[in-house]
Structure formats: structure tokens, C-alpha cells
Amino acid sequence: MPFQFDLIKKDTATSARLGSMTTAHGAVQTPAFMPVGTQGTVKSMLPEEIRNCGAEIILSNTYHLYLRPGHETIQNLGGLHTFMNWPGPILTDSGGFQVFSLGALRKITPDGVMFRSHIDGSRHFLTPQKAIEIQEALGSDIMMCLDECTPYPATIAETEKSLNLTAAWAQLCKNSKKKSEQALFGIIQGGSYLDLRRQSLEKTVPLDFDGYALGGVSVGEPKEIMYKITDAIAPLLPADKPRYLMGVGTPEDIVFGVSCGIDMFDCVIPTRCARHGLLFTNSENVVIKNARWREDNNPIDENCDCYTCKNYSRAYLRHLYVAGEILAMVLNTIHNIHYYMRLMRDIRQAISDNGFTKFKEDFLNKKMTL
């Protein structure tokens, strides 16, 4: 089944959009948040639990799966969906951000990136063509072009050189794509410079990708810069294609991004925070290790219907966390993923009801007054 995006409704007061993506492994309602399953697993979650929380699509990573267990191994075992027992859509990140984060262990050339594995130090050369080959072997529903993730801060000259390299790689990725059922998204770079972001957009959009992502955000820049870029560039992306803000973010970031016209988000925040004992609610977030919960028999959130909140108290969750029990990570992650999925459902309902502006104001005001 070919990839398709349908724009269902646009908010009258903001750029928020309601849409639907059709993939070979099912439909995804947008705006959508993708739990991060970097190495073929959302940490501490069974696939059935992810689905029960309401997730329709997850993200996995080309770099990590290429190094271990290897894309050819996964292909021989039936592809990533079968390998990890996830029947729904999967988006694979190209590995550009992971290579970027290796720092001294990598060298960027016009043809690709030479890097040393963080696992065993072995040398590898990742080209745009190789990134597509790996993702096609994995069988993901949405593939990402290989890009150079521009660091922050960077000079105008450095940023322009980087975005030109990303644009050249985008063309090579497009030329290398063989499987029509897999979508391919282009990535807009340009750092913190709006004119360079527009330049990147002008180079990338004519290649007619299935969707477009804003990359190079959440790389250490102040949040107001990320907001400025999103607000200025997202509405310029093609209206008939999905728009993806990579690596974002907090609940507040997501609500803001939706108001700018973003359709897709991913971030490790809900799972990482769960493992460190920070639990999200629409009122005060809960730091579960705090002694104040020692004898609290209430759920994390009385308004939450996740498995954790229906069955366990704050006192018990605190006990598990303080005792270092694995179950603490499982139950905390179920709650945080469910919270994010409920947030996305509420956002979609607000857009459908022509009430997104009030939803955004109420949500952000509540968070600011806590």
C-alpha cells in the first residue's frame, strides 16, 4: 500500500492541522507522537503495552540497528516489524543525529560520514545510499534522508556549508530509493538562522519527498530559538505533506509545535523521565522518589485511566523506585507514554471541535502557574 497523507481539517485561528497518514502497516492520526524505540524496543515496554497506551507509530534508529544486530540479519528474520513484534507503522531515523553526537569518533566528507562504532570501535562509512539501503532492509514505513545535524552554536558559513551538504545528500537518498511502499522524508536544516532555514527549504521541497522534517533542533539551543524556527518555517512546508519536528519534546513544546502546523513529534523525554522517576500529569508533575508519597494511597493522576493509575498507588510506586525494582521503570513508563498519547488525543479533539486556541491557552497557563 503506498504512503498517503490526508489533511482533514485546519484550525481557523492557528496553523494547527488534523490529518491522517496511511502506511503499509496501518493508519496514523495526526498530530501524532512517536515513542522512541531506538534499538527495536521502547525501553521497558512490551509492544502490546505500547499499543494499549494508544500509540499508532513508533520510531527506531538506523545507526543502532545497523551496528547491532545488523540490518541484513533483521531482513533475513522477516524485517523490523516481525523482528520486534510490532504490527503498526515504524519510522526510522537515518542515524544522522547519532553520528553527529559521536564527535571525535566521526569525520564528515562530501560522500558520507566515516565513524567509529561506539560499541567496539570498528570503522564504518555511512553514505546517503547506504542509509537508504539499511532502512529498506529494515522495512520501515517512513525512512529519513541522511543529513548533517548542524550543532549549536555554529557560524553562518558553517551552517550554510552543512545545509548544502544535507541538500546534496537528500538528492542522493531520493535517487537511491527503490521500494515504493516505503515513504521518504526530506530534512530541513539551517541552524538558528531563518534565512538559511528558508534556503534549505528551497533546496529540499522541489525534490518532492513524501513528508518534511525540521532537523537540527533540540541540539542545545535555547528553547526560544527552537520556537522561533518552528513558528517561521513550519507553515512554509507543503500543506499536503506531513510535517515532522524531530526530537521534540516536552508536552508544552508539542502543544506549541501543533499550533505552528507540526503533525509529528518524537522524543525520549517520556521514557527517560519515567526511568528517572518523573511522572507527567496535567497538574503538578510527580517526582515519585520524594518522601511525601511514602504513605499516599492515591494513583499518580486520579484523572488517568492507564494501567498503572488504575492499579497502583503513589506509595507503592515510590517503594519500587527507591528499592531499585525493574517494575518501577515498567509502570512509570506505561503512565508517561499513556499521558503523551492522551495529550495527542486531546489535541486532535480540540482541533476537531474548533477549540484548539482555548485548549492551548488553558494548557500552557496551567503549566506556567504550577
Percent of the chain predicted with pLDDT > 90: 92
**Structural contact between residues 360 and 259, judged by C-beta atoms closer than 8 angstroms:** yes
Enumerate long-range contacts of 45-50, CB under 8 Å, 24 or more apart: 45/271, 45/330, 45/333, 45/334, 45/337, 47/84, 47/85, 47/86, 47/87, 49/307, 49/334, 49/337, 50/86, 50/337
Instruction: Please determine, for residue 369, whether its predicted confidence score (pLDDT) is greater than 80.
Output: no
Instruction: Please determine, for residue 49, whether its predicted confidence score (pLDDT) is greater than 80.
Output: yes
Backbone conformation region of residue 144, classed left if phi is above 0, alpha if psi is from -120 to 50, else beta = beta
Amino acid code (one letter) for 168: A
Which among 93, 141, 253, 263 is annotated as catalytic? 93
Percent of the chain predicted with pLDDT > 70: 99
Amino acid code (one letter) for 257: G
Q: Supply the pLDDT for residue 228.
A: 97
**Peptide bond preceding 47: is omega within 30 degrees of 0, i.e. cis?**
no
Enumerate long-range contacts of 81-86, CB under 8 Å, 24 or more apart: 81/25, 81/139, 83/40, 84/37, 84/40, 84/41, 84/47, 84/60, 85/47, 86/37, 86/47, 86/50, 86/58
Task: Please indicate whether residue 111 is annotated as part of the active site.
Answer: no
**Structural contact between residues 322 and 288, judged by C-beta atoms closer than 8 angstroms:** no
All structural domains of the chain: 4-267 (3.20.20.105), 275-370 (no CATH)
Average pLDDT (231-257) is 97
**Cα gap 294→243, rounded to integer Å:** 44
Instruction: Please determine, for residue 299, whether its predicted confidence score (pLDDT) is greater than 90.
Output: yes
User: How many CB atoms sit inside 10 A of residue 205's CB?
Assistant: 16
Q: Supply the pLDDT for residue 270.
A: 98
**Cα gap 312→331, rounded to integer Å:** 9
Convert the pLDDT of each residue in 67-91 to its tens digit.
999 999 999 999 999 999 999 999 9
CA angle 250/37/253 to nearest 5° reads: 10
**Peptide bond preceding 89: is omega within 30 degrees of 0, i.e. cis?**
no
Q: What value does the mean pLDDT of the chain take?
A: 96
Which among 11, 141, 266, 301 is annotated as catalytic? 266
- How many residues does this entry show for the chain? 370
Q: Supply the pLDDT for residue 141.
A: 98
Average pLDDT (236-247) is 98
pTM score of the predicted model: 0.97
Q: Supply the pLDDT for residue 101.
A: 82
Task: Please indicate whether residue 93 is annotated as part of the active site.
Answer: yes
Convert the pLDDT of each residue in 136-181 to its tens digit.
999 999 999 999 988 899 999 999 999 999 999 999 999 999 999 9
Per the model's pLDDT, the better-predicted residue between 258 and 95 turns out to be: 258
| Confidence grade of residue 370 (pLDDT, cut at 50, 70, 90) | very low
Q: Residue 186 has which C-alpha cell?
A: 526530506
Convert the pLDDT of each residue in 335-350 to its tens digit.
999 999 999 999 999 9
Burial-class residue 236 by CB neighbours within 10 Å (0-12, 13-18, 19+). Answer: middle
**Cα gap 173→209, rounded to integer Å:** 10
